[in-house]
Amino acid sequence: MSDDFSNCRNCGVELQPANSFTCANCGRNDLCILHKGSGSGLCSVCLDRFRKRLIYPTFAIICSVLLIFSPYMFAKIPFFLIVPVILFLPFWLMIEASRPVITYSKLKKIFMNTALLSVFLIFILIVLWQINQFKSFIRISAGLASTAFLILGVVLFLLGFIYVLSTSLGRLGITLFNYDYPEETSILLKKAGKDPEMIGTLKWDLKWITGINFIYGFIFLYLYISSSG
């Protein structure tokens, strides 16, 4: 181990050959074994980066398509149903940002941030829909909207099935995605269990992102079938 890193970057413990490791992905060796995924051999930094690479692009892509093609969504889905579809996205994002421990104080922030982000998204949605009503603006063709709904719907469903397959194969010892939990997460969850303010613990796994993919994949495929029919 390099002499440049004599202490763990995260918790400051002194690094020794017995309590240190080299990440199988990035090769960093400045973290102790508490920050190592026991199955994957990845450090907590890589595990967190992998999770974010799934969550944030999914959120951004779904929101972008919903906003850009909002007139066609309004035409096929009643507004009272569009609101929960929009509300669920920022709520899911806030929950993901608060993992792995949910407390009452965190829950208040989650609802507040969800409300603010939802108001912004719905405002943009209505503005884009109103702009589309004016003849002077270039309208997005129904064919383009239908194609976007089809492509995204199929992609989300395929990703969902891949995540389900990964979870199933994981029980057989076959890994498609190198994701597990570092020991620091288990320690944090044990401490949280003794906290009276704690509501619950949420270990992140592929089931969450799988559910999002299936829910919004179905919505986009429904929009495609409705708009093309």
- Place 111 in a pLDDT band, splitting at 50, 70 and 90: confident
In contact, 156 and 64? CB cutoff 8 Å: no
Instruction: Give the pLDDT of residue 1.
Output: 44
In contact, 92 and 117? CB cutoff 8 Å: no
Instruction: Give the pLDDT of residue 195.
Output: 63
Strands (E), 104-215: 198-201
Q: What is the pLDDT of residues 187-208, one digit of tens each?
A: 776 666 566 666 666 667 788 8
Cβ density class 94-133: b for 16+ within 10 Å, e for less: bbbebbebbbeebbeebeebbeebbeebbeebeebbeebe
Lowest mean pLDDT among 57-61, 181-185, 193-197, 220-224: 193-197
Instruction: Give the pLDDT of residue 6.
Output: 78
- Place 154 in a pLDDT band, splitting at 50, 70 and 90: very high
Calculate the average pLDDT of the chain.
79
Mean pLDDT is highest, among 59-68, 78-87, 187-196, 216-225, for: 216-225
